[in-house]
Amino acid sequence: MPSDDILTLPPPPADARLPYGTDPNQFAELRLPKTKGPSPVVMNIHGGFWRAKYTLAHAGHLCAALSAKGMATWNIEYRRVGNPGGGWPGTFEDIRSAYRYLPQIAKRYDFDSTKLLVMGHSAGGQLALCLAAHETSLKRVVSLAGVVDLQQAWEQHLSDNAVLAFLGGKPSEVTEHYREADPMQLAIDHGTTQWLIHGAGDDVVPSFFSRQYTEQKKKRGEDVHYTEVSTAGHFDLIDPRSKAWPTVENTVLHLLAK
């Protein structure tokens, strides 16, 4: 069964859908474990090259799988390119708002907002690492097949130049946007552990994005790690049915055990 069918399969229901803002796209799905809390929590940022046509629905599968392992999951929606206010910086403002909302509901839903990991897939990987750079309280971040180098994304014309619509232009035209948004240019050196996972068979975001990012960030002294999953494609990393999934799940469990 191809893993890209995860985009169309209906996800398991969430325990709650909560707004973190007033816009219709500023909400998240909360899934709770059956174990007694306070449980650790994973905030998930879905991908889709920052475009409005891709929603959080397909990420419900991985969130349900993690909740079955004893974690609360916070699967966020946010304004995207094509939504009013979407693109830079509105999209990222939503990511920060969703992150900062977690402590407000932690006691009500019996999870530990200090035992937190933020994970993102594809464009969500960029947003997760960008969040880690701007929020020094975030200590665990995982990028799955992430678009972690926006200059390179522009040079490679990824997904019909999606980064141009997201940031509003080329690097020479909106230099400040790239400086603020590009994980490769940002410093994550405040004791945050970064873990990048990528499939060797990814034909959407090439694995060298994550590999080169890890090499460069290690030279700068950041706590960054890389795992390449042989033959895995772009969507295998978010599909709990795939052979790649145990690598993702075990990485999350390892980080939250620290």
Which CATH number do you get for residue 126? 3.40.50.1820
Asked if the model's pLDDT at residue 2 lies above 80, the reply is: no
Band of residue 242 on the pLDDT scale cut at 50, 70, 90: very high
Residues ≥6 apart with Cβ < 8 Å to 161: 154
Mean pLDDT of the residues in the chain: 96
pLDDT digits (tens, 9 = 90+) for 19-78: 999 999 999 999 999 988 799 999 999 999 999 999 999 999 999 999 999 999 999 999
Asked if the model's pLDDT at residue 1 lies above 60, the reply is: no
**Amino acid identity at 202:** D
Pure H helices in 110-222: 123-134, 150-155, 158-167, 175-181, 208-219
Q: Which domain holds residue 162?
A: 3-257
The whole-model pTM stands at 0.97
Position 145 scores a pLDDT of: 98
In whole angstroms, what separates CA 127 from the centre of its chain? 6
> Do 32 and 39 contact (CB within 8 A), yes or no?
yes
Structurally, how many domains does the chain consist of?
1
Band of residue 98 on the pLDDT scale cut at 50, 70, 90: very high
> Do 231 and 139 contact (CB within 8 A), yes or no?
no
pLDDT digits (tens, 9 = 90+) for 188-241: 999 999 999 999 999 999 999 999 999 999 999 999 999 999 989 999 999 999
pLDDT digits (tens, 9 = 90+) for 127-138: 999 999 999 999
Q: What is the mean pLDDT of residues 171-175?
A: 97
The whole-angstrom separation of Cα 77 and Cα 92 is 11
- 42: part of which helix (H) or strand (E)? strand 39-45
